[in-house]
Structure 1
């Protein structure tokens, strides 16, 4: 089903859907707004009202007047001179996200392009004929959109059905002709924050999926490492005001409901290491950052981010040649999301280390076959540690990089697009770290010495892994397994959690209400998923707790 841009702007979820392959359409209202803004530009040109990039040069050339006869040339030359990207091109999803965000910006009705320009972009997008956009070389937003716009005028390169074509041939393949740009259209095509906003929407979608997986993989590690379910006690967690923390606590309780392994070890330790007992706190903090970042991205999608903005009426057109194209807020949000995901991944590596370390795991060394000839997951943990270090370097804030460009005219830079690009890289690295933890947790189940059932949900997770990756015995390159697990995390949602209401009636939650507690009572309560009741009894009934220990 098409994503329709009507009276409301796209939100980040819709942009991510277009990035994943959904088509994009403009409503009649949006088309009318675009056409009305074009009339304003035509009036500005006709009346000779000074407007940045319409009848002046750009950047430090903003005071150089451009005659009406030169304005088409200015629009074309802006694309040529601004197409300065370097490095490997963006992926298809990244390119689609940027294009969707650009059309969304035009649909606000303050850019001043003709409808033909928006239609050309949408035709390329919906045909999956995607411009080749080098990933690097931007301090803000210019170069990426310039490479996209080149294809609209028959220049640059595009990918269509696996073939690299020059812009003119790419347009011909989908039945289009190159556009001749009019006044302001060149600047409108490279201006604003669609580049970072599109990439940010994609980062949010990937981060959300990753956090869902990380909770579930953490539950597997927690169970294998025989953690204390008190870490997820509902009443305790509610004392900390954090929607994310309490959501993760609920997810962990649900994922581990019915665990015979954890029921057998209630009361064995006063508290677990931080990488286990702070899962709600760290994962929850990242979810809170995700929510805040989503709010920033949605505000950005709802904002007009051109320079200049055209407004008013045909009788009284107005031009705002100011700074709405600067992406300070979204740059800061991307830096924050990147740091949050890097922290979640760093803690995943710490749980992985505990799984492979026989000094603390209670499992065979490095989850390997015995005898010394097998290394198991020893070196996979090195890879995870390396990626954690890489994320730490990448998490330095791009928004503080600064710099001076355009002959001192642009003497403060926010580096919003680089912030989004490195957030995407951190999310990918984090996915690989969690994928290694997932494989190690599945292997740990195969080697678990406690003869007790896993929680139904972690059992489903283990089965999901084992359908595509068998247990590891140093009999093949482990990198191949890691790649399979990463694609599972990057491309698929984890198995859905059961409805908490399906785990049976909740008994009384105090020793008084249940009478004399026995070890069997505690075990059965924990196995049924009633974590708080089991923990309460284990703590309050000294005899039962001592027996369980």
Structure 2
């Protein structure tokens, strides 16, 4: 699928598609809009109209007038001085997402860059020749785009076909020439919110996939623990108004339909523990946050986020030098999404703890098979608890970090890009937690003492995990299995659920369920990955 930037702005799903490798093209009308904005900048320069970053310095130097002869030097120097990122480089998808969001921003026609600048970025994307962008060092938006723009002028470094190349050599191999920046282009290349917006699009995609898995894995644990299906009753859930809650309730009813295990557990308890009966409430709240975040990110993609913004016509140019480059709304949205995902993962760890605790599960201690000389999932639960604690630290709001930069000129900072990076880290940690719960739930089925059938959906999911990971017998490092489960969750989707509207709210009576004996054997062995697997994440190519 080719993503085309036309008159309409891109939406987050299109940014995520480009990040995954889809080509990005500009429509002829979009190119004309970019050229029109450039003509306005040229008139601002010719008429000597005071414009921040065009014929003045930047930041605290905004009142220093720059002569026309120095404006090329100003643009070039902005890239050099703003390329101050540190740490490991962003991953391939993260870099592509930022570049796509930047191109989308320039296509609004308010930035005033030449179309050649946008074409250069698009050519790098098309060739998958990606600038090396250090992940850290930004309080807002500057350093990431500066490192990307360096390559356009023949500086910096790229990763291309497994090689690390200097920017000039990379352009030469692609048949491109380094660009000499003109007035305003240096500032337009580093400011605005494409870095956080691109990363936010990835966070949305990964969070959406994680929440689908969270429902599926929770269904397996709920079934193994003999939960009371009334927790998902549609009439009961309707008392709380929440689209996410209603959706999760329907998904859980569909996933657990016809479960003999749940039929056998009917009436066993008046109420289940909160980590079981609040699955619709917690997962649903996270889905509501996800929906709200989608709106924020799409609004950001529909906005021109430069400072200054050029408008009007060449005959009547206008310059708006205000604060549209500050991403307060998207910073708050990323903080909120990180917290929502962290809460889902924290509850998953609580279900995992119940699965491994024989005092509440009715299963062998720590899901060890056989017990005594085997530890089973005892220490895997430690890992999950550690990741929950890491999420708790990472979910602290970046948008409140504050700080003062640029000689008091920038005395309020929203830390939007760090908020997006933290959200991505929380999502990755949470995928690992759910992966451990997935393994434990599959192991619980193998050791389940109740002779009753599973729901069709959970049986399918059990078969999927057992096709790649056999029953665990302390016969191999468990980290390898955890790596496989993580890749399943971070890199793919769970089996699709049947139509929730067709699923009954309660299981069939036990007498009508065909029974099967507890599983004692080992499923077909699969392959095992290293614990140091390559997966989507905030940093690392």
SS at match of 2:464: helix
Say whether 1:232 aligns with 2:238: no
Give the distance between the partners of 2:22 and 2:422, measured in 1 at CA: 25
SS of aligned partner of 1:472: coil
Shift of 1:432: 0.3
Displacement of 1:275 after TM fit? Answer: 0.1
> Are 1:85 and 1:136, in contact at CA under 8 Å, matched by a contact in 2?
yes
Distance 1:291 1:525 in 2: 40
> Which of 1 and 2 has greater Rg?
1
Match of 1:131? 131
How far is the alpha carbon of 1:493 from its aligned partner?
0.7
List gaps (5 residues or longer) in structure 2. Answer: 515-541
Q: Deviation above 2 Å: which 4+ runs of structure 1?
A: 499-503, 520-527
Q: Which shows bigger deviation, 368-377 or 288-297?
A: 368-377
Partner of 2:146: 146
Q: CA deviation at 1:128?
A: 0.4
The residue number in structure 1 matching 2:217 is 217
Specify the SS of the correspondent of 1:53: coil
| Post-superposition offset of 1:371 | 4.0
CA drift of 1:497 comes to: 0.8
CA distance in 2, matches of 1:502, 1:281: 22
CA shift digits 1:239-276 (9 cap, x unpaired)? 11000000000000000001011011111110100000
Q: Secondary structure at the match of 2:324?
A: coil
SS of residue in 2 equivalent to 1:264: helix
- The alpha-carbon distance between structure 1 residues 525 and 502, as it changes in their structure 2 partners (threshold 3 A), is farther
CA–CA distance in structure 2, aligned partners of residues 254 and 492 of structure 1: 20
User: Residue 29 of structure 1: SS of its match in structure 2?
Assistant: helix
Matches within 5 A, 1:164-203: 164-203=164-203
Q: Which moved more, 1:370-379 or 1:148-157?
A: 370-379
The alpha-carbon deviation at position 107 of structure 1 amounts to 0.3
Following superposition, the deviation at residue 501 of structure 1 comes to 6.0
Tell whether the 8 Å contact from 1:9 to 1:104 is kept in structure 2 after alignment. yes
Within the alignment, does 1:54 sit opposite 2:54 as a pair?
Answer: yes
Which whole-Å deviations, capped at 9, do the CAs of 1:442-493 have from their partners, x for residues lacking one? 0000000110110000000000000111110000000010011001100101
Q: What is the Cα deviation at residue 28 of structure 1?
A: 1.1
Q: Which residue of 1 aligns with 2:535?
A: none
Aligned position for 1:522: 509
Query: What residue in structure 2 maps to residue 277 of structure 1?
Result: 277
Shift of 1:127: 0.7
- CA gap of 1:226–1:171, structure 2 versus 1, over 3 A, is same
Q: For the residues of structure 2 that align with 1:423 and 1:260, how far apart are their CA atoms?
A: 39
TM-score of the two chains, using structure 1 as the length reference: 0.92
Residue number in structure 2 paired with 1:478? 478
Instruction: Name the residue aligned to 1:467.
Output: 467
Name 1:246's counterpart in structure 2.
246
TM-aligned CA distance change 1:244 to 1:502, over 3 Å: closer
8 Å CA contact 1:157, 1:165 repeated in 2: yes
Q: Does residue 346 of structure 1 match 2:346? A: yes
Match of 2:522?
none
Aligned residues: CA RMSD:
1.4
Correspondence for 1:68: 68
2-side partners of 1:317 and 1:370: how far apart?
A: 78
Q: Name the structure 1 match of 2:440.
A: 440
Query: Per-residue deviation at 1:372?
Result: 1.5
2 CA distance for matches of 1:521 and 1:251? Answer: 17
Tell whether the 8 Å contact from 2:263 to 2:508 is kept in structure 1 after alignment. no
What is aligned with 1:118?
118
Asked if structure 2 preserves the Cα contact closer than 8 Å seen for 1:80 and 1:150, the reply is: yes
Equivalent-residue separation in structure 1 for 2:163 and 2:508 (angstroms): 66
How many angstroms apart in 2 are the aligned matches of 1:54 and 1:185? 8
Asked if 1 retains the 8 angstrom alpha-carbon contact of 2:258 and 2:508, the reply is no
Aligned equivalents of 2:52, 2:349: Cα separation in 1: 51
Partner in structure 1 of residue 297 of structure 2: 297
Query: Which residue of the partner structure matches residue 491 of structure 2?
Result: 491
Question: Is 1:366 the counterpart of 2:353 in the alignment?
Answer: no
Tell me, yes or no, if the aligned pair for 1:37 and 1:113 is still in contact at 8 Å: yes
What is the aligned partner in structure 1 of residue 313 from structure 2? 313
1:499 is displaced (CA, Å) by 2.6
**Partners in 2 of 1:428 and 1:466 — Cα distance?**
23
TM-score by length of 2: 0.94
> Aligned residue for 2:98?
98
Matching residue of 1:409: 409
> How far 1:370 sits from its partner (Å)?
2.8
State the shift of 1:524 in Å.
6.0
What is the correspondence of 1:507-546 to structure 2 with a 5 Å cutoff? 522-523=509-510
In structure 2, how many angstroms separate the alpha carbons of the residues matched to 1:500 and 1:85?
47
Q: Is the 8 A contact 1:257 1:526 kept in 2?
A: no
Q: Which residue of 1 aligns with 2:263?
A: 263
Answer whether contact 2:261 2:452 (CA < 8 A) is retained: yes
Q: 1:216-235, CA deviations, whole angstroms, 9 ceiling, x for partnerless residues?
A: 00000000000000000000
Structure 2 partner of 1:5: 5
Q: Is residue 2:24 matched to residue 1:24?
A: yes
The residue number in structure 2 matching 1:390 is: 390
Distance 2:62 2:189 in 1: 18
Distance 1:244 1:17 in 2: 25
Distance in 2 (CA, whole Å) between partners of 1:11 and 1:167 is: 30
Q: Shift of the alpha carbon at 1:500?
A: 4.1
Q: Is the 8 A contact 2:53 2:187 kept in 1?
A: yes
Asked if the contact 1:262–1:526 (Cα under 8 Å) also holds between the matched residues in 2, the reply is no
C-alpha displacement of 1:379: 0.2
1:319 alignment partner, SS class: strand
Q: Which runs of 5+ in 1 are unaligned?
A: 510-519, 528-549
Matched residues in 1 for 2:508 and 2:205: separation?
A: 43
d(CA) in 2 for partners of 1:36, 1:332: 34
Question: C-alpha displacement at 1:522, in angstroms?
Answer: 3.2
Cα deviation for residue 369 of structure 1 reads: 1.7
User: 1:400 matched to which residue of 2?
Assistant: 400
CA–CA distance in structure 1, aligned partners of residues 283 and 292 of structure 2: 14
